[in-house]
Structure 1
Amino acid sequence: MAGESRFPDVDSNGSEKNEDIEIIVNVGGMRQVLYGENLNQYPATRLAQLINCLSGGYDSIFSLCDDYDPGKREFYFDRDPDAFKCIIDIYYFGEIHMKKGICPICFKNEMEFWKVDLKFLDDCCKTHLSEKKEELEEIARRVQLILDDLGVDASENRWKRCQKYIWKLMEKPESSYSARVIAVLSFLFILISSVVMCMGTIPELQIVDSEGNHVEHPTLDNIETACIGWFTLEYVLRLISSPNKLHFVISFMNIIDVFAILPFYVSLILTHLGAGMMELTNVQQAVQALRIMRIARIFKLARHSTGLQTLTYALKRSFKELGLLLMYLAVGIFVFSALGYTMEQSHPETLFKSIPQSFWWAIITMTTVGYGDIYPKTTLGKLNAATSFLCGVIAIALPIHPIINNFVRYYNKQRVLETAAKHELELMELYSGEGKVGGSKNELEDLMGEDKERPSWSRQLKVSHSDTFIHLLSDEKHYRTRLQSCK
């Protein structure tokens, strides 16, 4: 009948008791029967609001769901059914666990759609979410850097444009052919300088000065001077063109650069001016100490090597494992050195004179180096030595696997982030229909947008429906449907 009501039965007060209401939700083809008694535990959620909207008419119902069948009292949602299976756990267990294989960012968007607070997500799952956010922040940062490099702001003066050009030339080898040439030259100068430093210590290549001292060959000294001149020029240009001078100066790699350059000039000053102010012997000792600091230049290779940078990061993330390794070795060294000293005292020609002296024997034994300068001579001492190197092998092997995992994880992550950033830029190029991302002022304005708070190129990333969409670049809320994939 036309006048028949299509809504649920109501009591004499005009409304059905919420606790007695039974509804059916169909999420992506998965049907679930829910009861008002459970849903009303969290009245702010979307499912709880479904019960309260039944008496509000179709406008109220369709503001919460995609479709509604009044005969079956069934609500339809075009959402991810796998994520929904996890979210409804809140009504039964009071917490939510994210299934393995679900994208954390997509799951977060699903929770926002169902109006479930993130505080109900278990701590173990929040860790995955925070890791994913960090990845998106890194992708956004990389995309922003690439766009900044490609864009040219005509409003900047000539010095600013020149400064930016020099910075890209010295710091970003991938920006141009000239930058790649400079990076290769810098790498070669580092290698040449390191080789010259080693060859200068060969007695056959040294000469005797007027005072009878062996000094480096003048040819090697000239090559060293040329390398230092390049390092100095490189550092000065990078410092002048740096957008943030303070951050540049306190950066670890730039401090390494200073330590690689400074000994040359200090030794030069001491050689020419220090002799008149102090004894010649003291000057020579100071110069020799400064020359040893030249080994710091080998660390400059880390600037041009992704592998060394990855190794450094892996070691930083493995402080706990390295601490365990040192603790195991320290305990073993103390125990076995004390036992070795005690067991070897009965031998008249013992090499274990004291426990501190036995530390050296324990270290080289547990690390399986075995120089043989100190060794046990008694039967018990030999048994103690065998036990010590077996325990040393076990102590060293245990923490190595997590350290290797940290290295592999970070290395693979960097490759994925680099690929994701390039993927976003390619999608932007396809969407804009241009052969390149930026270059002219108009193109850059199209990418960066007039609104500084939300760049317009972030909207281009949204329209591309990328699987690595950078949510953090946009203030808008975006929800994936069950038809959209997440890789």
Structure 2
Amino acid sequence: MWGIPKTRYADCSGSEASDEIEIVVNIGGLKQVLPGDLLNRYPETRLAELVNNSSESFEVITSLCDDYDPGKGEFYFDRDPEIFKCIIEVYYYGEIHMKRGICPICFMKELEFWKIDPDFLDECCTGSLKEAEEELSEIADKVKLILADLEGDFGSGRWQRFQFFLWKLMEKPQSSLPARIIAIASFLFILISSVVMCVGTIPDLQLQDAEGNHMEHPTLEAIETTCIGWFTVEYILRLISSPNKVHFILSFMNIIDFLAIIPFYVVLTLTYLGTAMMELSNVQQAVQALRIMRIARIFKLARHSSGLQTLTLALNRSITELGLLLMYMGVGIFLFSALGYTMENSHPETMFTSIPQSFWWAIITMTTVGYGDIYPKTTLGRCNAAVSFLCGVIAIALPIHPIINNFVIFYHKHSMLETAAKHELELMALRSGTCALGKASQKSLKSCGAAGLWDSAMRASQSDTYIPLLVDPSERTPQSTRKDKDD
């Protein structure tokens, strides 16, 4: 297919000779001879237009290619020859296969240039394309988030500037050294509060009041009060500085923060005011129940730990595998508990009094915990127990590898997206022409307005070599993202 061109070139005149035309294209230094009847199978493509307009003026021809040599009858294209070898398959086979190692987005840009519908891409190759588009969408979301951080939804007044400064101080630890110190302090207060909550339950560290009731040590209560005071001030400052109060209040992590704070004040209110409205025993029970809610503050660690956030998102992506694990375990628990009850029911000293009561035995057996509080006493029951824990090991082991693999993939993908978003911002700052990136790109991005970066990105999206991340994926089509040269 690839080689020296034939002696006939595209110098025929008239539509009656179009089937006999052979054009010579030079794609990045590689030549190929293409018959006109083959290219006219898809008349809307660029090569078909080149065949049908080969007898037109030099200006018309050069609007379809990068250069043209009338002496050799050779059309030059400064495109990727390896990708073109894949694209030319559409004329021969009616479908396109993307070779391994080719960037899917670059491949789509080539399809747009040659005016070939992406629907010709075979189903076996669309998976990598969709995955690449999803990654681009995620990178664009991160870029938009960073641009929103740079610009913010704040006004230009003195209070708005103070609100923006406070918002970055409380919400963006990477923005400055004081913000990083506040984030570290908040992390330490969470750990101290959690440790104090656990240590306060040790009987040797508890005191007794005049009525003989146990109460926490005053020192531990003082530490707890200090931690709650920090959490309260932090929550109020974050609420004041938030540009969207409703979104802030309804956010899941902020709900966790609120639930970690409010029990302290409810307990304080019930302790000092509740005795006048209800009995002391009821107040103590309510206080004890509300103290249990303090465990919600441990979830505040997720705000300061990217690892916990990645783990949560990875588990969210593994819902299918976790569902299969629960389904396998549920079926096994029901099956082996029923068999265990049937085999052990006739024994005079049986511990399997009912099938629901046997569920506990099946759970601890299939998970290989085996407390020994319930165990079979017949031979058949022991055989059933042996089969049950073997099946339990298999049922648990099978979905574990996909879950771990999802976590590893998601963690590396998260790191890659962070790096890609940072590089995208650097490219946008370079194209803006108003900011010069020095040794620290973050400082230059601060000095460069977010709106200017956004505008430069939209201008650069018109380039053939730029991938428009900040354009809606539905707009990345040959008809809407590229302006043909002949228009």
* TM-score, normalised relative to structure 2: 0.86
Residue 376 of structure 1: aligned partner: 376
Residue 11 of structure 2: aligned partner: 8
Report the 3-state secondary structure (helix = DSSP H, G, I; strand = E; otherwise coil) of the residue aligned with 1:75: strand
Q: Give the CA deviation at 1:347.
A: 2.3
Q: Give the CA deviation at 1:47.
A: 1.6
Report the 3-state secondary structure (helix = DSSP H, G, I; strand = E; otherwise coil) of the residue aligned with 2:264: helix
How far apart, in 1, do the equivalents of 2:418 and 2:31 lie? 41
How far apart, in 2, do the equivalents of 1:417 and 1:305 lie? 17
User: Letter of the aligned partner of 2:470 in structure 1?
Assistant: L
**Cα offsets for 1:424-453 (capped at 9, x unmatched):** 4455667743546688999535x633xx9x
1:444 aligned to which of 420, 441, 448? 448
Residue 243 of structure 1: aligned partner: 243
Q: Give the CA deviation at 1:383.
A: 1.4
Residue 483 of structure 1: aligned partner: none
Q: Give the CA deviation at 1:380.
A: 1.5
Residue 21 (str. 1) matches residue 25 (str. 2): no
Matches within 5 A, 1:24-423: 24-69=24-69, 73-146=73-146, 149=149, 156-423=156-423
Aligned-residue Cα RMSD (Å) equals 3.1
2:470 aligned to which of 442, 447, 472? 472
User: Letter of the aligned partner of 2:451 in structure 1?
Assistant: M
Q: Give the CA deviation at 1:226.
A: 1.0
User: Letter of the aligned partner of 1:129 in structure 2?
Assistant: L
Q: Give the CA deviation at 1:148.
A: 5.3
Q: Give the CA deviation at 1:42.
A: 1.9
Q: Give the CA deviation at 1:28.
A: 2.3
Deviates more, 1:262-271 or 1:250-259: 262-271
Residues 1:461 and 1:417: Cα distance change in structure 2 (over 3 Å):
farther
1:433 aligned to which of 436, 450, 459? 436
**Cα offsets for 1:387-445 (capped at 9, x unmatched):** 11111111111111111121111111121122223334455667743546688999535
Report the 3-state secondary structure (helix = DSSP H, G, I; strand = E; otherwise coil) of the residue aligned with 1:369: coil
User: Letter of the aligned partner of 2:132 in structure 1?
Assistant: K
Deviates more, 1:349-358 or 1:319-328: 349-358
Residues 1:269 and 1:94: Cα distance change in structure 2 (over 3 Å):
farther
Asked if the contact 2:154–2:243 (Cα under 8 Å) also holds between the matched residues in 1, the reply is no
Residues 1:32 and 1:347: Cα distance change in structure 2 (over 3 Å):
farther
Q: Give the CA deviation at 1:346.
A: 3.3
How far apart, in 1, do the equivalents of 2:353 and 2:445 lie? 78
Work out the number of aligned pairs and report it: 465
User: Letter of the aligned partner of 2:162 in structure 1?
Assistant: C
User: Letter of the aligned partner of 1:117 in structure 2?
Assistant: D
Q: Give the CA deviation at 1:92.
A: 3.3
Asked if the contact 1:151–1:440 (Cα under 8 Å) also holds between the matched residues in 2, the reply is no
Q: Give the CA deviation at 1:170.
A: 0.8
Residues 1:59 and 1:458: Cα distance change in structure 2 (over 3 Å):
closer
Asked if the contact 2:10–2:23 (Cα under 8 Å) also holds between the matched residues in 1, the reply is no
Deviates more, 1:314-323 or 1:402-411: 402-411
Percent identical among aligned pairs is 68
Q: Which runs of 5+ in 1 are unaligned?
A: 480-487
Residues 1:151 and 1:461: Cα distance change in structure 2 (over 3 Å):
farther
Q: Give the CA deviation at 1:275.
A: 2.2
Q: Give the CA deviation at 1:119.
A: 2.8
Asked if the contact 1:139–1:421 (Cα under 8 Å) also holds between the matched residues in 2, the reply is yes
Q: Give the CA deviation at 1:83.
A: 1.7
How far apart, in 2, do the equivalents of 1:242 and 1:256 lie? 17
Asked if the contact 1:438–1:444 (Cα under 8 Å) also holds between the matched residues in 2, the reply is no
How far apart, in 2, do the equivalents of 1:184 and 1:107 lie? 45
User: Letter of the aligned partner of 1:187 in structure 2?
Assistant: F
How far apart, in 1, do the equivalents of 2:231 and 2:124 lie? 48
**Cα offsets for 1:289-331 (capped at 9, x unmatched):** 1111110100000001011000000011111111001111111
Residues 1:472 and 1:127: Cα distance change in structure 2 (over 3 Å):
farther
Asked if the contact 1:367–1:392 (Cα under 8 Å) also holds between the matched residues in 2, the reply is yes
Deviates more, 1:264-273 or 1:227-236: 264-273
Report the 3-state secondary structure (helix = DSSP H, G, I; strand = E; otherwise coil) of the residue aligned with 2:267: helix
Deviates more, 1:42-51 or 1:317-326: 42-51
**Cα offsets for 1:257-288 (capped at 9, x unmatched):** 11111111112222222222223222222211
Asked if the contact 2:12–2:21 (Cα under 8 Å) also holds between the matched residues in 1, the reply is no
Q: Give the CA deviation at 1:147.
A: 5.0
Q: Give the CA deviation at 1:462.
A: 9.3
How far apart, in 1, do the equivalents of 2:417 and 2:462 lie? 18
Q: Give the CA deviation at 1:91.
A: 2.5
Q: Give the CA deviation at 1:145.
A: 4.4
Asked if the contact 1:65–1:77 (Cα under 8 Å) also holds between the matched residues in 2, the reply is yes
Q: Give the CA deviation at 1:138.
A: 3.6
Report the 3-state secondary structure (helix = DSSP H, G, I; strand = E; otherwise coil) of the residue aligned with 1:98: coil
Residues 1:369 and 1:152: Cα distance change in structure 2 (over 3 Å):
closer
**Cα offsets for 1:11-65 (capped at 9, x unmatched):** xxx3344344333333223444433333223211112112111122322222112
* TM-score, normalised relative to structure 1: 0.86
Q: Which runs of 5+ in 2 are unaligned?
A: 1-7
